[in-house]
Chains A and B, each alone.
Chain A
Amino acid sequence: MSKRTVSVWTDNQFWVRSAAWVTGFASVLLIWLTFDTLAQISMGTDEDLKNGIAKRVPGPTVINYKITYEMSDKRGHEVPVIGAKEKFFGRDDYTEEEAGALLELGKLGSQAKNCMNCHTLLGNGAYYAPDLTKAWLDPAWGENGPYLGMTGKNTKEEAMAEFLMYPSKYPTHERMMPNLGITAEEAKGLVAFLKHMSSIDTNGFPRNFGKKSTDLREKGSN
């Protein structure tokens, strides 16, 4: 093959070696970064939360705390901020096991009910229904939000659970969520999953969540 080769550029062996080196180098770099990333996105613990250690993915007991999404001047975008204790279905003392079990139920539920083929989670999925990354922080479910009144519930978590169990009873648009046979316990797990997801540090996605451009303009920032 390379007997008559006059230039290295037309020598297949040169390109074979190049392909091997380039692929090898890129793969090694990816694997190296993977180790670093896996350490950074592994779930935190209850201890971390109690000691105020910020993790990119907090432990499941984050459901015991109030979560907000605030602009960080240092990082130049919004980050989830874990605040004071907050009741979740009437309790703010879920143990690591209890909260972990709820989160597992919710995560399994999110897969079993195929959420991702209508919604996006962390921006990935289908585009038929709203993104759920920060759904827990959506002002519509908060105090004075329209969906709280719609479901006739007093708290955000109860309202969300009610909606998940009987979605077509509470249409928010002509395009409705179908009834997926979600039980009360599954709904509780799913809301825990949503609350946990909202505490994940997504590098500022979605940007300006819950803020209208008109509000931002009044404050003089964008």
Chain B
Amino acid sequence: MFDRLTTNHFQYEGKQLATWYFTVAVVLFGAQLLMGLIAATQFLYPSFLFEIFDFSVARMVHINALVVWMVYAMVGAAYWLLPDETGIEVVGIKFAKLGFMVLTAAVTVVVLVYILVQVGPASQATIWLIHEGREYIEAPRWADIGIAVVLVGFLLHVFLTAIKGTRTGIVTVLMADMIALVGLYLCGMGYTDNISMDQFWWWWVIHLWVEATWEVLVGVFAAYGLIRIIGANRQIVEMWLWIEVSMLFGSGILGMGHHYFWIGTPEYWWEIGALFSALEPLPLVAMFIHVTYDWGKEQGIAKAKGEESAVMNTPALTWFFTNAFGNFLGAGIWGFFHTLPQVNIYTHGTQFTSAHGHLAFFGAYATILIGIFYLAIQGSNNITRLKMTFDGKMAWFLINIGVFGMTVALTISGYGQVLVERAQMGATWEAFFVSQDALWFVQGLGWRLAMGVVTLVGFVYLVKDLLSSGKSEIHEK
């Protein structure tokens, strides 16, 4: 895929390691889509794989593959950009490669246990060995500890490399953000009988990853990407990055309050959560403006000089730009839809949440990580100017149409569900199932499945493009 995966073709071994992470990430991305299709089918045909491979299993692997492929791609991206930014090889690269092997072996075992064992008795042994049954962070305790150890090792590589080499603004933000990201993972490793306490700490991982530290990582990758792709001015890009950090952490950290409306936590989280989470879209608008402005500016300079284009990697820029808009649309708009407590008391835990989840994870993270895959294609094939192939265009169109289509379909389903289950019928067991048979609901889920298939076809094009684009003749060497 990323040409010459196993040879010492790379100037830096850190970059070679990055391509290993990217390869596993793409495989897990595919697993995520397949599991999603199984779960989406079960919504419409509940007898599909009933008591063989139940919805709970498909859904667990669906969301875990999502989290893990993104973490893999992010760690890979960090290893990819470190040598460029610091000007030196990743310190302790042999150990970093060992860490990759250990992590990948652990992930494989965890997934196999999920799929083959599925559930265990109500005991601590299940929590330690099979899974923890806590959405998104289901990994069993043994794997939690292993992941934490490998992540701390990763932190060491980042820090030692940054200290030894040049410490740019981008690397500084990366260092600070990674400390927070790794530290927060520890908040999700405990056990308590108190479900309110359980969910309180659970959100420290989920929210502070997805709505704070991951978003800052996106800022880091966008900054690095703009410098590499269009030759944006480092001083301006890094200034923007610091502004984005202020805005993202300023809104995102206390925006956590929007998860504390209904889990047993006090009422003051209504005001705090509503206010700060309503501010969360602002940095996303800023990031969109930033990317658009820099693109236009650099393109203008290049044209004035009589050059063909400032863009050295068209597919990467396309995905980065999709990220800038998709982040705002999926995380910002679709998040704001239901973030106020007056709305959320009805929409909490319905297909609205699912709609937002799909577009937000895609718009905010999948897009930019795919963009970074293309940077790696360019780097690992020594291509000066990477152009868009037909397969690359198909991948972009189909994946975007697919995910946005799923989101709109789920939003309509969610609307039907909220009206019937929550507003009319009192949110009971019966109310839930009546809403699941409502016409709008069922049609929405039908379209979701169809759009899921479109997404999968787009993914197939993406894999084909990643495998073949490096050898295409259309690029400038």
Contacts and interface: CB of A to CB of B under 8 A. Distances in A.
Nearest to A77: B345
A117 B253 CA distance: 26
Contact of A23 (B50, B246, B427): B246
Interface in A153-174: 168, 172-174
Given A100-B193, A202-B263, A123 B348 contact: yes
Contact of A57 (B124, B134, B196, B353): B196
Contacts of B269: 33, 37
A27 B123 contact: no
A108 B242 contact: no
Interface string B353-382: 110000000000000000000000000000
A108 B123 contact: yes
Interface stretch (A81-89, A90-98, A178-186): A178-186
B126 A108 contact: yes
B433 A107 contact: no
Interface in B147-206: 169, 192-200, 202
B428 A41 contact: no
A15 B133 contact: no
B122 A172 contact: no
B459 interface: no
A140 B429 contact: yes
Given A12-B169, A112-B121, A117-B59, A30 B266 contact: no
B423 interface: yes
A118 interface: yes
Contacts of A206: 345, 348, 422, 426-427
Instruction: Bin chain A's interface residue count.
Output: 35 or more
Given A113-B133, A128-B59, A42 B197 contact: yes
Contact of B264 (A105, A131, A201): A201
Contacts of B192: 107
Given A23-B246, A29-B254, A122 B436 contact: no
Nearest to A104: B193
A218 interface: no
A23 B119 contact: no
Interface in B29-78: 39, 42-43, 46, 50-51, 54-57, 59-60
Contacts of B433: 130, 172-173, 175
B476 interface: no
Contacts, number: 260
A97 B120 CA distance: 24
Contact of A116 (B133, B426, B429): B133
Contacts of B59: 117-118, 126, 128
Contact of B354 (A15, A127, A208): A127
B264 A1 contact: no
B131, B133, B345, B423 — which one has the most chain A CB atoms within 10 A of its CB?
B133
A130 B348 CA distance: 12
A213 B419 CA distance: 10
B122 A108 contact: yes
A173 B434 CA distance: 9
B424 A122 contact: no
A12 B119 contact: no
B327 interface: no
Given A12-B235, A123-B263, A130 B194 contact: no
A110 B199 CA distance: 13
A120 interface: yes
B422 A127 contact: no
B51 A179 contact: yes
Contact of A112 (B120, B235, B265, B436): B120
Contacts of A109: 122
Contact of A114 (B123, B131, B254, B426): B131
Contact of B135 (A125, A147, A186, A197): A125
Interface string A115-149: 11110111111111111011100111000000100
A216 B217 CA distance: 48
A16 B18 CA distance: 29
A54 interface: no
B170 to A, nearest CB: 12
Given A117-B135, A123-B263, A212-B425, A111 B127 contact: yes
29 contacts: A1-B235, A15-B243, A22-B246, A26-B250, A30-B253, A42-B194, A43-B197, A108-B126, A111-B132, A111-B134, A112-B123, A113-B119, A116-B133, A117-B133, A121-B195, A122-B199, A123-B348, A125-B349, A129-B432, A130-B428, A131-B427, A173-B436, A186-B121, A207-B427, A208-B427, A209-B428, A210-B428, A211-B426, A212-B424
Interface of B: 39, 42-43, 46, 50-51, 54-57, 59-60, 118-124, 126-127, 130-135, 138, 169, 192-200, 202, 235, 238-239, 242-243, 245-246, 249-250, 253-254, 256, 259-270, 272, 345-346, 348-351, 353-354, 417, 422-433, 436
Given A56-B266, A128-B55, A176-B46, 10 more contacts: A15-B246, A16-B242, A23-B246, A104-B193, A112-B120, A128-B42, A147-B429, A203-B270, A205-B345, A212-B425
